[in-house]
A and B are shown apart, each in its own frame.
Chain A
Amino acid sequence: MTATTDIATFDAAKRRPGERRRSRIMLTLLLSLFLVYSFMPLVYLILSATKTNGDLFTTFGFGFGTNFNLWQNLSDLLARDNGIFMRWMFNSVLYSTAAGLGAAIFATAAGYAFAKFKFVGRKLLFALVLGAVMIPQTALVVPIFLLLALSGLSDNPLGVILPSMISPIGVYLMRVYIEQGVDDELLDAARMDGAGEVVIFRAIVLRLVAPGMVTVALLSFVGTWNNYFLPLIVLRSQAYQPITVGLATWYQLAQQGGGGGQVLFSIIITGALVSIIPVIVVFLLLQRFWQGGLTAGAIK
């Protein structure tokens, strides 16, 4: 038995070099095909952002136009509707940053309470948090809209920011993170030294779990930046809308055609390109943290 396997592996080893290289090239080619598919829309977006509106219609989509019009498109974009584009970008940055910071701090505090304290209702409350992870996000949008309309918070940015600060999955992640990463003896030693609970949290816990907080902040930042349904239904005034809602409104306007709608095409394309740059930069810089958050649920 052992003899035959030995011969088999020996044979395989002898055959290897050439065949291995060929399979390596084939696999790389296969993956490259999908990479082309992944990049194609982005390449199209970049090329189109350099074209005049006329060139969009008359030149090939995956080629350059007759003029390099990117700078003109950018200035048209910034001038359109009294510079509303920068206002939308600012709103997106504001809402996403506030949601990211709030979610990270609140989830860490709550995760710390679950991880290191015993209190009445702990199990029930944590079960509720886990249950909330399973609530379909969009099933909450209409109810939130109805309640905001009742409480006079409709068309108020807080109606988008505050719900985005709730991260049940963040509480779960931070609980696990703190259970594993913060030593009970360290906390007790600080208590012996007379440090108050809030000081312990600020000076010890927050410092030890900073990487976990970055993950939670990122998930909420990106989730809020990409969110469309909630701000669409909550925010009526253009001046409050984030970039996703604003661009989509222009897009719908342009598609309806009619008076000057088509002039919007190159502005929308340039705006789409500018709007994804911040998320892509954040994504590339903080890749490690991002993937950590996505995979936390899978490994458990």
Chain B
Amino acid sequence: MSNSPAAATRPVPWGGFASRKLAPYLFLAPFVLLFIAFIVAPLVYAFYMSLYRDTLVGGRHFAGAASYIKVTGDAKFWGGVWNLVLFGIVQVPIMLGLALLFAIVLDRGQVYAKGAFRLGFFLPYAVPSVISTIIWGYLYGPTFGPFTQMAKAFHLPPPDFLSPGAMIFSLANIVTWEYVGYNMVIYYAALMAIPSDLAEAAQIDGTSPWQFARLIQLPLLWPAILLTIIFSINGTLQLFNEPYLMRALAGNTINSSYTPNLYAYSLATQNQQYGYAAAVSFVLGIVIAGASYVFTLIANRRRPEQ
């Protein structure tokens, strides 16, 4: 194309070089180069590292699948996964249930100041999780936390948010605070896509709001709900920032393998067990992909009738 007479009369920068055949490769090049350098290469190199073992005396030597076999039997790794499974069973339904309720109420319910609620609920998502954890850490704090102050003012025993039994709920509260609004926005957008004549028809038929939610909104929301559950499974199993910072408050409750990512981090940075840290990262990735896959299978089998 660029060899056409018109192009010859008016010189165009790059025109000759970027012919139509070459153009797509040129446009893809920056993204693909970064993709190879920072996604493909790290994964390949980390996989290679995971096949070797570092020993203090003998240096590095090939160990095959030994690291992977070790991870599958590593109580610290699976203890972390188990913590997060418990965390997810409590936290994800509460977070998504609230998000769904608010999305439905803000979509069709009669409420004052809808815009303000939508904005206000979403605002915590704009706060970095590090800052959220620091703020909640102060709120939970046993020295000058306001809840401790209130309990003392009423001569009640101060609540211990940082005890081993309470920690999982304290962390769940931080994550819920951060992400209810985010999930609400996803549901809200899916609800907006429901044609309004459907709602009008249902109203004329005398359908109650509850019936409308159950029979019409929920089935239409199903893809969005699936998506948010998969996001939540992913995010939960990757939990790092919140427990890592809460360690500063409760080092006895949160050990270095409280979550799998904390474990991989401490292996890589404190113990210099690079190969094993890489293996832990890979197995975590496989656990997450597997959990999402199994969930999708179950969900598709039990899809609500439309």
Contact = CB atoms under 8 A, between A and B. Distances in A.
Nearest to A57: B144
A139 B285 contact: yes
Contacts of B285: 135-136, 139
Contacts of A144: 38, 42
Contacts of A297: 186, 227
Interface in A113-167: 113, 117-119, 122, 125, 128-129, 132, 134-147, 150, 162-163, 165-166
B27 interface: yes
B204 to A, nearest CB: 7
Contact of A279 (B126, B269, B278): B126
Interface string A271-298: 0100110011001000100010011011
Interface in B159-201: 177, 180-182, 185-187, 189-190, 193
A282 B189 CA distance: 21
A140 B81 CA distance: 18
A298 B6 CA distance: 45
B129 A132 contact: no
A85 to B, nearest CB: 14
A237 interface: no
B131 interface: yes
Q: At the interface, is chain A mostly helix, strand, loop or mixed? A: helix
B82 interface: no
A198 B25 CA distance: 12
A18 B227 CA distance: 39
B46 A110 contact: no
A110 B227 contact: no
Interface residues of B, number: 111
Given A137-B238, A272-B135, A109 B123 contact: no
A125 B45 contact: no
A136 B223 contact: no
A191 interface: yes
Contacts of A138: 238, 240, 261
B185 A150 contact: no
A132 B39 contact: yes
B63 interface: no
Contact of B185 (A9, A141, A294): A294
A3 interface: no
Given A41-B132, A142-B264, A143-B278, A27 B38 contact: no
A38 B121 contact: yes
B110 A20 contact: yes
Given A229-B241, A255-B248, A298 B112 contact: no
B75 interface: no
A145 B189 CA distance: 37
Interface stretch (A66-74, A76-84, A245-253): A245-253
Contact of B189 (A23, A39, A147, A298): A298
A61 B139 CA distance: 8
Interface in A45-65: 45, 48, 56-57, 60-62
Nearest to A47: B146
B233 to A, nearest CB: 10
A180 interface: no
Contact of A38 (B37, B124, B136, B193): B124
A60 B152 CA distance: 11
Given A41-B177, A44-B138, A146-B49, A279 B117 contact: no
A50 B123 CA distance: 22
B39 A139 contact: no
Contact of A201 (B27, B124, B278): B27
Contacts of B39: 132, 135, 140, 166
A55 to B, nearest CB: 9
Central interface residue in A41, A57, A139, A201, by most chain B CB within 10 Å: A139
A233 interface: yes
Contact of A171 (B31, B129, B241): B31
Interface of B: 1-2, 4, 6-7, 9-10, 12-21, 23-28, 30-32, 34-35, 37-39, 41-43, 45-46, 49, 98, 102, 105-106, 109-113, 116-117, 119-121, 123-124, 126-132, 134-139, 143-146, 149, 177, 180-182, 185-187, 189-190, 193, 204-206, 223-224, 227, 234, 237-238, 240-241, 245, 248-249, 261, 264-265, 268-269, 274, 277-278, 280-282, 284-285, 288-289, 292
8 contacts: A5-B204, A42-B135, A138-B238, A142-B280, A195-B15, A196-B14, A197-B20, A199-B13
Given A61-B149, A136-B237, A298-B224, 8 more contacts: A41-B132, A143-B42, A194-B12, A199-B12, A245-B130, A248-B130, A251-B245, A298-B223
Interface of A: 5, 8-9, 12, 20, 23-25, 27-28, 30-31, 34-35, 37-42, 44-45, 48, 56-57, 60-62, 105-107, 109-110, 112-113, 117-119, 122, 125, 128-129, 132, 134-147, 150, 162-163, 165-166, 168, 171, 191-199, 201, 222, 225-226, 228-229, 233, 244-245, 247-248, 251-252, 255-256, 265, 268-269, 272, 275-276, 279-280, 283, 287, 291, 294-295, 297-300
